[in-house]
């Protein structure tokens, strides 16, 4: 009996040490994931058919990779890097992919360990107009470490042949003309005669004095008989919509029906914060105007949100329960991510959630995660204002208005009829910048304050062209089925 008891204790101890080792390895793997900054741009090509050139740019810190000597005779060390983009439909089915394999060079191991050097690259695909999801994976071939960046919504626009139209606006750290064109042609950062060092997430430091921009303008009216010009103007808009700075108008020569526009704007006096850069183009010959706006962030030297400098920032993921965060991410995960998430145990779910919000952080070099804070704010607002049981204020996130708020953010304009004479109360939420402009119509069927979504023009949402019939009061009631959650 003593002999069996001894071996049983050995077995229990070995099992315990195996579990500890597995947890340690998992935690180490989580802490050493490659951090990625990535962005997606679209460049419709009028002469390339209906498919749109989709440009996925990314940046990674060089010191995250393992550098090894190339051989015993050659100087320097080299890291081998593999990157792949996978495009899926909104249900998570794989549609397309593209990949690249490249090297990064350093003088020696000490040079490779520098924290102030980043690696930039791009992957390109041709995609038909539509709504997609996607992921970017970057792998260190030597160490097998990897990182993943999730694109939960990719909107590929259509090219309108008769309308003045901008491509996506690309922010860059620098735009230069290469001295060696032949060598530049081998770089994925080369575009229309220029080398563009991308800033994928449009995050600048307060020490940066200039922002560099690249954009393409299509469908200019052009006949080539006489020299013609068009106007371009830039404005910086504060987060509250007020004007911060106006750079005025510039006249540019028309090279043809398409023009490549690159600019460098001084931001030395702008100050840290979140802004929108608004660009406008006017073609005098056609009388058409094109407008485009995109957000960028200037991070102060001491880190974003200086008001937290005197107090330790507490990550909401450290204090919020798993159930609350699971409720929140139900509307933020892709269909594929949510299916995978549901089969994980609590430890796996917690790790997956941290990875998800970490990849979405617009300022990953700071402790404060703006994306997470904004999502939690919308979740709490939904519970506060949309709960079916007002006193509980816990189930508003499950309501239709709560779901739309969490998934799409605050609407730009709300039209409501609270006390109609002959109809049910309803609300219309307008989103001007979502999918080119969409709206959601909610009806209070029972007069209890539970507004249900009956019609929307957004992709993937309920569509009922006869939605006005839902407003009529009468004996013929329409039964709403619960989603079971």
Residues 438-464 have a mean pLDDT of: 85
Residues 200-213 have a mean pLDDT of: 87
H or E segment and range at residue 7: helix 2-31
- The span from the CA of 214 to the CA of 196, in Å, is 8
pLDDT tens profile 94-149: 899 999 998 888 888 898 898 888 899 999 999 998 888 888 999 999 998 888 88
pLDDT tens profile 245-292: 999 998 999 999 999 999 999 988 888 888 999 999 999 999 999 999
pLDDT at 86: 93
pLDDT at 451: 87
pLDDT at 29: 41
- The residues, any chain, with a CB within 8 Å of residue 161's CB and separated by 6 or more, are 46, 219
User: What tokens does 322 get?
Assistant: 């798993």
Report the percent of the chain where pLDDT is more than 70.
Answer: 81
pLDDT at 316: 67
pLDDT at 133: 87
Report the percent of the chain where pLDDT is more than 90.
Answer: 24
Chain mean position to CA 394: 28
pLDDT at 421: 52
pLDDT tens profile 305-340: 333 223 344 566 766 778 888 888 888 888 777 888
Residues 424-435 have a mean pLDDT of: 84
pLDDT at 220: 92
pLDDT band at 484 (very low <50, low <70, confident <90, very high): very low
Fold match between domain 32-159 and domain 160-301: yes
Which strands sit side by side in the sheet containing 52-61, from one edge to the other?
A: 37-44, 52-61, 118-127
Least confident of 40-54, 168-182, 209-223, 389-403: 389-403
Phi/psi class of residue 178: alpha, beta or left (left: φ > 0; alpha: ψ in -120 to 50)? beta
Mean pLDDT, the chain, whole residue set: 80
**Ranges of each domain in the chain:** 32-159, 160-301, 311-402, 411-485
- CATH 2.60.40.3880 corresponds to the domain 160-301: yes
292 closest CA partner among 252, 244, 234: 234
> Which of 178-187, 370-379, 433-442 ranks highest by mean pLDDT?
433-442
363 closest CA partner among 289, 311, 313, 291: 313
pLDDT at 393: 65
Q: What are the beta bridge partners of residue 277?
A: 236, 294
Whether the pLDDT of residue 478 is over 50: the answer is: no
Class of domain 32-159: mainly beta
Residues 392-396 have a mean pLDDT of: 73
Whether the pLDDT of residue 358 is over 90: the answer is: no
Residues 387-393 have a mean pLDDT of: 68
């Amino acid at each position: 009996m003593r002999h069996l008891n001894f071996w049983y204790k050995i077995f229990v101890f070995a099992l315990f040490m195996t579990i500890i080792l597995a947890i340690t390895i998992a935690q180490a793997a989580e802490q050493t994931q490659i951090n990625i900054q990535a962005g997606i741009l679209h460049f419709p090509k009028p002469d390339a058919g209906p498919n749109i050139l989709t440009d996925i740019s990314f940046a990674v810190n060089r010191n995250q990779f393992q550098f090894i000597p190339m051989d015993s005779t050659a100087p320097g060390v080299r890291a081998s890097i593999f990157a792949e983009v996978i495009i899926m439909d909104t249900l998570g089915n794989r549609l397309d992919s593209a990949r690249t394999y490249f090297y990064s060079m350093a003088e020696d191991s000490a040079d490779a360990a520098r924290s102030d050097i980043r690696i930039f690259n791009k992957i390109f695909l041709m995609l038909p107009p539509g709504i997609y999801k996607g992921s970017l994976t970057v792998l260190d071939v030597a160490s097998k470490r990897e990182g993943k960046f999730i694109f939960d919504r990719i909107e590929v626009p259509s090219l309108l042949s008769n309308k003045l139209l901008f491509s996506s606006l690309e922010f860059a750290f620098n735009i230069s003309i290469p001295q060696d064109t032949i060598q530049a042609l081998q770089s994925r950062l080369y575009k229309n005669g220029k080398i563009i060092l991308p800033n994928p997430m449009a995050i600048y430091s307060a020490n940066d004095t200039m922002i560099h921009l690249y954009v393409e303008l299509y469908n200019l009216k052009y006949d080539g008989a006489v020299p013609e010009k068009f106007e371009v103007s830039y404005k910086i808009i504060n987060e509250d919509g007020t004007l911060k700075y106006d750079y005025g108008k510039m006249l540019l020569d028309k090279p043809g029906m398409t023009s490549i526009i690159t600019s460098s704007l001084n931001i030395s006096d702008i100050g840290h914060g979140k802004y929108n850069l608004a660009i406008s183009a006017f073609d005098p010959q056609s009388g058409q105007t094109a407008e485009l706006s995109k957000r960028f962030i200037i991070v102060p030297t001491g880190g974003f949100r200086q008001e937290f400098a005197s107090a330790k920032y507490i990550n909401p993921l450290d204090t919020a329960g798993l159930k609350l965060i699971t409720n929140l991410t139900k509307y933020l995960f892709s269909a594929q991510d949510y299916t995978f998430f549901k089969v994980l145990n609590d430890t796996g779910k917690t790790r997956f959630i941290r990875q998800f919000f970490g990849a979405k952080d617009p300022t990953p070099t700071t402790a404060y995660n703006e994306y997470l804070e904004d999502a939690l704010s919308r979740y709490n607002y939904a519970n506060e204002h949309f709960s079916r049981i007002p006193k509980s204020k816990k189930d508003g996130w499950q309501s239709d208005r709560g779901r739309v708020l969490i998934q799409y953010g605050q609407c730009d304009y709300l039209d409501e009829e609270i006390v109609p004479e002959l109809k049910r109360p309803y609300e219309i939420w307008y989103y001007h910048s979502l999918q080119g402009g969409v709206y959601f119509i909610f009806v209070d069927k029972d007069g209890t304050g539970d507004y249900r979504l009956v019609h929307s023009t957004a992709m993937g949402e309920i569509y009922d062209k006869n939605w006005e019939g839902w407003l009529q009061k009468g004996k013929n009631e329409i039964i709403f089925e619960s989603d079971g959650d």
